[in-house]
Amino acid sequence: MSFSLLGRHFLRRVSTSAFLFALALLVLADPRPGRGQCLPLEVLTAAAVAGGPPAAAASLRAQLPTGDWESSATGTAAPFWQFVPGPDEKSPADALPTRLELRRVNQEPTADVVLKTSRRACLTELRAALRRAGLKPEPVTCPQCVAERFSTPTYSVTLYQQPDNFAAGKAPYPYLVVVHPLAAGSGK
Protein backbone atom coordinates (compact mmCIF):
# COMPACT_ATOMS: atom_id res chain seq x y z
CA MET A 1 0.00 0.00 0.00
CA SER A 2 2.73 2.47 0.86
CA PHE A 3 4.57 1.61 -2.36
CA SER A 4 1.48 2.45 -4.40
CA LEU A 5 1.09 5.82 -2.62
CA LEU A 6 4.78 6.53 -3.13
CA GLY A 7 4.47 5.59 -6.82
CA ARG A 8 1.47 7.89 -7.36
CA HIS A 9 3.20 10.73 -5.53
CA PHE A 10 6.34 10.23 -7.65
CA LEU A 11 4.35 10.18 -10.90
CA ARG A 12 2.37 13.25 -9.88
CA ARG A 13 5.57 15.06 -8.94
CA VAL A 14 7.36 14.01 -12.14
CA SER A 15 4.34 14.98 -14.25
CA THR A 16 4.13 18.39 -12.59
CA SER A 17 7.87 18.91 -12.96
CA ALA A 18 7.80 17.82 -16.61
CA PHE A 19 4.85 20.11 -17.29
CA LEU A 20 6.59 23.09 -15.68
CA PHE A 21 9.80 22.33 -17.56
CA ALA A 22 7.94 22.12 -20.87
CA LEU A 23 6.09 25.35 -20.08
CA ALA A 24 9.39 27.10 -19.30
CA LEU A 25 10.82 25.92 -22.63
CA LEU A 26 7.78 27.24 -24.48
CA VAL A 27 8.08 30.63 -22.78
CA LEU A 28 11.80 30.83 -23.56
CA ALA A 29 11.25 29.74 -27.17
CA ASP A 30 8.33 32.14 -27.73
CA PRO A 31 8.44 32.93 -31.42
CA ARG A 32 6.86 36.38 -31.03
CA PRO A 33 9.61 38.63 -29.58
CA GLY A 34 11.77 39.77 -32.48
CA ARG A 35 10.74 36.94 -34.77
CA GLY A 36 8.73 39.19 -37.08
CA GLN A 37 12.03 40.82 -38.06
CA CYS A 38 13.31 37.57 -39.56
CA LEU A 39 11.58 37.18 -42.89
CA PRO A 40 11.34 33.76 -44.52
CA LEU A 41 13.39 32.99 -47.60
CA GLU A 42 10.23 32.66 -49.70
CA VAL A 43 9.25 36.30 -49.08
CA LEU A 44 12.67 37.66 -50.01
CA THR A 45 13.13 35.53 -53.13
CA ALA A 46 9.57 36.07 -54.42
CA ALA A 47 10.13 39.83 -54.30
CA ALA A 48 13.50 39.54 -56.03
CA VAL A 49 12.20 37.51 -58.96
CA ALA A 50 8.93 39.45 -59.27
CA GLY A 51 10.40 41.83 -61.81
CA GLY A 52 11.33 45.50 -61.65
CA PRO A 53 11.13 47.66 -58.54
CA PRO A 54 7.36 48.31 -58.80
CA ALA A 55 6.57 44.58 -59.01
CA ALA A 56 9.07 43.74 -56.26
CA ALA A 57 7.60 46.44 -54.01
CA ALA A 58 4.07 45.15 -54.64
CA SER A 59 5.22 41.61 -53.80
CA LEU A 60 6.74 42.76 -50.52
CA ARG A 61 3.68 44.85 -49.59
CA ALA A 62 1.48 41.81 -50.13
CA GLN A 63 3.69 39.42 -48.13
CA LEU A 64 4.99 41.45 -45.20
CA PRO A 65 3.15 40.85 -41.92
CA THR A 66 0.68 43.71 -41.50
CA GLY A 67 1.30 45.95 -38.54
CA ASP A 68 4.88 44.76 -38.09
CA TRP A 69 6.44 46.58 -41.04
CA GLU A 70 6.09 50.25 -41.87
CA SER A 71 6.68 51.53 -45.40
CA SER A 72 8.93 54.57 -45.55
CA ALA A 73 9.02 55.12 -49.29
CA THR A 74 8.37 58.66 -50.42
CA GLY A 75 8.26 60.13 -53.89
CA THR A 76 10.89 58.70 -56.21
CA ALA A 77 13.09 57.28 -53.45
CA ALA A 78 13.76 53.56 -53.47
CA PRO A 79 11.11 51.83 -51.36
CA PHE A 80 12.08 50.48 -47.96
CA TRP A 81 10.34 49.12 -44.88
CA GLN A 82 11.29 49.15 -41.21
CA PHE A 83 10.22 46.66 -38.59
CA VAL A 84 8.09 48.29 -35.90
CA PRO A 85 8.50 46.42 -32.60
CA GLY A 86 5.34 45.81 -30.61
CA PRO A 87 4.86 47.32 -27.15
CA ASP A 88 5.84 44.03 -25.48
CA GLU A 89 9.11 43.69 -27.41
CA LYS A 90 12.34 44.84 -25.87
CA SER A 91 15.44 45.72 -27.83
CA PRO A 92 18.67 47.43 -26.85
CA ALA A 93 18.42 51.21 -26.95
CA ASP A 94 21.16 51.45 -29.58
CA ALA A 95 19.77 48.69 -31.83
CA LEU A 96 18.42 49.88 -35.15
CA PRO A 97 15.14 48.36 -36.34
CA THR A 98 15.48 45.74 -39.04
CA ARG A 99 15.23 47.34 -42.45
CA LEU A 100 14.15 45.89 -45.79
CA GLU A 101 15.14 47.71 -48.99
CA LEU A 102 14.82 47.41 -52.73
CA ARG A 103 18.04 48.44 -54.45
CA ARG A 104 18.29 48.94 -58.18
CA VAL A 105 21.54 47.60 -59.60
CA ASN A 106 23.19 49.59 -62.40
CA GLN A 107 21.08 49.56 -65.55
CA GLU A 108 19.33 46.25 -64.85
CA PRO A 109 15.52 46.28 -64.95
CA THR A 110 15.34 44.31 -61.69
CA ALA A 111 16.10 45.16 -58.07
CA ASP A 112 17.96 43.46 -55.26
CA VAL A 113 16.13 42.79 -52.02
CA VAL A 114 18.33 43.80 -49.07
CA LEU A 115 17.57 42.84 -45.47
CA LYS A 116 19.62 44.73 -42.86
CA THR A 117 19.42 43.53 -39.27
CA SER A 118 21.17 43.35 -35.94
CA ARG A 119 19.65 39.91 -35.26
CA ARG A 120 22.02 37.02 -35.95
CA ALA A 121 19.05 34.64 -35.76
CA CYS A 122 17.74 36.03 -39.06
CA LEU A 123 20.92 34.97 -40.87
CA THR A 124 20.93 31.60 -39.13
CA GLU A 125 17.34 30.89 -40.20
CA LEU A 126 17.97 31.90 -43.80
CA ARG A 127 21.17 29.84 -43.99
CA ALA A 128 19.28 26.80 -42.68
CA ALA A 129 16.47 27.32 -45.24
CA LEU A 130 19.00 27.60 -48.08
CA ARG A 131 20.77 24.42 -47.00
CA ARG A 132 17.44 22.58 -46.65
CA ALA A 133 16.80 23.60 -50.26
CA GLY A 134 20.00 21.73 -51.18
CA LEU A 135 22.06 24.80 -52.02
CA LYS A 136 25.78 24.83 -51.33
CA PRO A 137 27.51 27.95 -49.99
CA GLU A 138 30.27 29.57 -52.02
CA PRO A 139 32.74 31.85 -50.21
CA VAL A 140 32.63 35.51 -51.20
CA THR A 141 35.55 37.91 -50.93
CA CYS A 142 34.46 40.60 -48.54
CA PRO A 143 36.85 43.07 -46.88
CA GLN A 144 36.46 43.09 -43.11
CA CYS A 145 33.49 40.73 -43.12
CA VAL A 146 32.53 37.11 -43.70
CA ALA A 147 30.20 36.33 -46.59
CA GLU A 148 28.81 33.35 -48.45
CA ARG A 149 26.61 33.07 -51.52
CA PHE A 150 23.96 30.49 -52.38
CA SER A 151 22.91 30.42 -56.05
CA THR A 152 19.98 29.03 -58.03
CA PRO A 153 19.23 29.52 -61.72
CA THR A 154 16.86 32.41 -60.90
CA TYR A 155 18.45 34.19 -57.91
CA SER A 156 21.44 34.32 -55.58
CA VAL A 157 21.38 34.97 -51.85
CA THR A 158 24.47 36.46 -50.22
CA LEU A 159 24.75 36.49 -46.44
CA TYR A 160 27.14 39.06 -44.95
CA GLN A 161 28.38 39.14 -41.36
CA GLN A 162 30.32 42.26 -40.43
CA PRO A 163 30.44 42.23 -36.62
CA ASP A 164 33.92 43.80 -36.49
CA ASN A 165 32.87 46.75 -38.66
CA PHE A 166 29.70 47.06 -36.61
CA ALA A 167 31.61 47.05 -33.31
CA ALA A 168 33.97 49.71 -34.66
CA GLY A 169 31.02 51.89 -35.70
CA LYS A 170 31.80 51.59 -39.44
CA ALA A 171 28.62 49.67 -40.35
CA PRO A 172 25.15 50.41 -38.97
CA TYR A 173 24.00 46.77 -39.28
CA PRO A 174 26.15 43.73 -38.49
CA TYR A 175 24.14 41.33 -40.71
CA LEU A 176 23.02 41.81 -44.30
CA VAL A 177 21.15 39.59 -46.74
CA VAL A 178 21.15 40.46 -50.43
CA VAL A 179 18.85 38.57 -52.80
CA HIS A 180 19.84 39.24 -56.39
CA PRO A 181 17.67 38.09 -59.31
CA LEU A 182 19.58 36.34 -62.11
CA ALA A 183 18.84 36.03 -65.77
CA ALA A 184 18.22 32.34 -66.44
CA GLY A 185 21.54 30.60 -66.77
CA SER A 186 23.76 33.67 -66.18
CA GLY A 187 25.13 32.34 -62.89
CA LYS A 188 26.28 35.77 -61.62
Q: What is the pLDDT of residue 26?
A: 38
Name 181's bridge partners. 155
Q: What is the pLDDT of residue 115?
A: 95
Tens of pLDDT, residues 141-160: 988 889 999 999 999 999 99
Of all residues in the chain, what percent are helix, strand and coil, respectively (each to 5)? 35, 25, 40
Query: Which residues of the chain are modeled with pLDDT < 70?
Result: 1-35, 73-77, 87-95, 165-168, 184-188
Q: What is the pLDDT of residue 12?
A: 54
pTM over 0.95? The answer is no
H or E stretch covering 45: helix 41-48
- CA dist 89 and 111 (Å) reads 31
DSSP 54-76: HHHHHHHHHHSPTTTEEE---TT
Q: Which residues contact 75 (CB under 8 A, 6 or more apart)?
A: none
